[in-house]
Chains A and B, each alone.
Chain A
């Protein structure tokens, strides 16, 4: 299940929906990304996320399909927010359910790494020095690249 939305999400409700009636699931790995109040040593008062409606959903669907091809998953939830968010606000949820923990942990990390480099979102931070667009990080490219082996 993939959603791109402005409103907040309820992690517990999403997890409950993911596992409801599927007793073959042995574990769920869940990552929730939050807005930090500091970036590069500067205070962050707010963050605004912009995305490319249409392409975003397609890109996320492709990334989820790739995870499902690589690991035996019983369910995947990706919820990504856009709009203006405040420190502490939830940005993104990735939850993966599988019979065993390895597939859940690994696919959850994979989804986050690929999402960060392959889904069309852009962040703008409000700092005391003014607004600035967040620059892509080489570490994120490296994190995405570690999953390249076996890429279909």
Chain B
């Protein structure tokens, strides 16, 4: 599974992207975030407040309860601020 982070999430986690292989029971974005939190203090800090997190699965906006699998590209980022 390919993960991408943007804006302050990327800074807190310390990488822009990574490939991970979470256990099979990680079937939703929310479960993935829970699993990521245990990977280190940067992750725990980045995901401390889920209300500030937005998600895209395969480059489409998605919800935290969206289903994900090993072949998906999952991006985690704060609310967008373009324009």
Q: Which A residues lie at the B interface, using CB under 8 A?
A: 33, 49-52, 54-55, 58-59, 80, 91-92, 112, 115-124, 133-136, 140
Q: Are A118 and B61 in contact (CB under 8 A)?
A: yes
- Residue B79 CB within 8 A of the other chain: yes
List the B residue with the shortest CB-CB distance to A112. B83
B81 and A135 contacting across the interface, CB-CB below 8 Å:
yes
Q: Which residues of A contact B6 (CB under 8 A)?
A: 50, 52, 120, 122
B42 within 8 A of A: no
Write the residues of chain B forming the contact surface with A, with a CB cutoff of 8 angstroms: 4, 6-8, 56, 59-61, 75, 77-83
Chain A residues with Cβ below 8 Å from B79 are: 135-136
Within 8 Å CB of B59, what residues of A? 52, 54-55, 58
Known interface pairs A120-B56, A122-B7, A124-B7. Does A136 touch B82 (Cβ–Cβ under 8 Å)? Answer: no
Task: How many A-B residue pairs have C-beta atoms within 8 angstroms? Tell me.
Answer: 69
Q: Which of A119, A120, A121 has the most CB of B within 10 A?
A: A120
Contacting A133 at CB < 8 Å: which of B7, B61, B82?
B7
Closest to A92 in B: B83
A–B complex contacts, Cβ < 8 Å, 10 sampled: A50-B6, A55-B59, A112-B83, A119-B80, A121-B80, A122-B7, A122-B81, A123-B81, A133-B7, A133-B81
**Contacts A50-B7, A133-B7 known; A122 to B61 CB distance under 8 Å?**
no
Looking at the assembled complex, report how far the CB atom of B66 sits from the nearest CB atom of chain A, in whole angstroms.
Answer: 15
Residues of A within 8 A of B60 (CB): 55, 58
**Interchain CB contact under 8 A, A121 and B83:** yes
Q: With the chains together, A92 CA to B82 CA distance in Å?
A: 9
CB atoms of A122 and B80 under 8 A apart: yes
Q: A124-B7, A133-B7 are in contact. Are A49 and B56 (CB under 8 A)?
A: no
Complex: A33 Cα to B83 Cα, angstroms: 7
A59 to B14, CA, bound (A): 26
Q: A143 to nearest B CB, angstroms?
A: 10
Cα–Cα distance between A54 and B61 once the two chains are bound (Å) = 13
